[in-house]
Structures are given as C-alpha cells and as structure tokens.
Structure 1
Amino acid sequence: MSARPVTAFTDGPVTRVGAILNYAQSRVRDDVLTGLEGEDKDFADSVRAAIFTFANIPERISARDVPRIQRDIAPDDLTLIVAGAGEGDRKAIDFLLDNISKRMAENIREEAKEKKGVTPEDVEAAMIRAVGVIRDLEAAGEIFFVANDA
C-alpha cells in the first residue's frame, strides 16, 4: 500500500471533465463533447449528464427555485441574456421569466428591447455568470437540481 502514489484528484474523470466544460464557452464545450463522442460514446454521454449549462435550466431547475435564483443573478446580466440570446436559449429564458413576477418579467423584457450593442461574447459571459450563481446556490444547499435522466 505504501508504494501506491497519492492521487492528485479525489473526483473521477467524468466529474473533472464536466466541471471544466461547465465553465467553457458553448462552442468549445460542443467541440470537446463531439470529439469525446468519436473516441468513447459512453464517456461522452456520462460527461453530458454531469454538466450544467444555461440551456439545462428548464430541465434541471425547479420552478419554485427561480425567484431565489433571480435575486442573485445581476439584473444587468439577466437583461443582457434576454436581449442577445439566440433561439437555442429561448426555452431557458422563457422558463426563467415565466417563473418570476409578471411585472418584473415585463420590465426585463422592455429593458432588453432597448439594449443596444449586445455582442454574442457579452451574452455568453452573462450566461456563464448566471450558471455560476445557480451552481453556487446548489452547492450551498439553497436550491437543488432536479434529477437529470439523460
């Protein structure tokens, strides 16, 4: 036993790769997962199940937790996301806005319409920050992820 080296990581490879991809830009994340799929489909599927991205919000977050999440996401980030997100993220945006007060959701939509100069890079950064807030709340036990059946 004493000849066994001390491991550098306590988590397994799926958890480590998933954690890295959680913070990667969506283009990079998709490229890595596509490459992994070509090498080892089972591993790629396990990593997909381990990651949590903005697009996963409707499937992994309970509607009752959305007001709690919304309080911690910077208002400018939420407005930026609504203003510049693509169609692929519309489901997550609608889920978030449908589960907060109608007045607040309408204010965010109005501010988003007036927002100028929104770049995809700014939107991606705001989404990463929003997902970070959600992960922090989950790690603190303030919200819980819904089981991912993927």
Structure 2
Amino acid sequence: MRLWSLHPELLDRQGLIAGWREALLAQAVLAGRTRGYRRHPQLARFADQRVPQREIGRYLVGLADEADRRGYRFDRARIDRPGPPGGQLTVTDGQLALEHRHLITKLAARSPELVDELGPARAHPLFVVTSGPPAEWERVRFDHEQ
C-alpha cells in the first residue's frame, strides 16, 4: 500500500488509479470493514488522528479532484466522509523528497517519458509541509540511505 504524500498531479495514470484503490482500502481498514492491513505503517498518520475516517476522506477527495481534472471518473460516492482536502496533517520535507525519488524510480520503469516532466516535490493538499527527516513508518529506503 502506498498512500502518497505527494500532490496527485505528480502521479502518472497508473499511480493515480492505484492510489485511489489503495486509499479506498485504507478507508475500509480505518472504518473497521476489513481485518487486513490494520497494522500497515502508512495508515499510522491517519489512524492517529482524532477522526481518521474524515482525514482519509479528505485524502480521497484530493485524488478525486485530480481525476476530475484529467477527465477520469472516480466514484466519489465511495468516500465515506468527504470533506475539503485543505491542509490538516503534516508531512516532512524529508518524506516528500524520499517519495519523490521513489516516484521517479517507478516512472523510469513504467513511463520514462514522464520523468523529465515531473517537476519538484509538492504535497497532497491534505498535508502541511514541515522540516524534518522521512517518517519513521516509512519502509522504502534507497541504497545511499541504508
């Protein structure tokens, strides 16, 4: 499961669609509708919130907004608690940088023509960026970081 902290406009088609599906799964986990993935590290930042379902709903709205911009049709009726995606959670600049490098690696393999067009790391509208290292729950590491 990858719940990108990056702005959805940075994701390619596959990344945006996969992100939508994975965020819907995360929503089901946080709502207690499924037993799998309950301990997944990327859920921690949502599960630690006062109203986790509201925050994952805001995250999903940000993905759906980008899908609309591209002319895709994500079913917003599947969002349990939709709300404005404005910054509520924090993400560190170190986490964004790590995810940006991870996305570049993925794009180089599946959509190399998009790598040069990617642009700088920006956060999903749900997140407010703070200074700091990658999140402790992050499992992706690159050779030079291990």
**As a proportion of its length, which structure holds more strand?**
2
**As a proportion of its length, which structure holds more helix?**
1
Task: Report the TM-score when normalising by structure 2.
Answer: 0.31
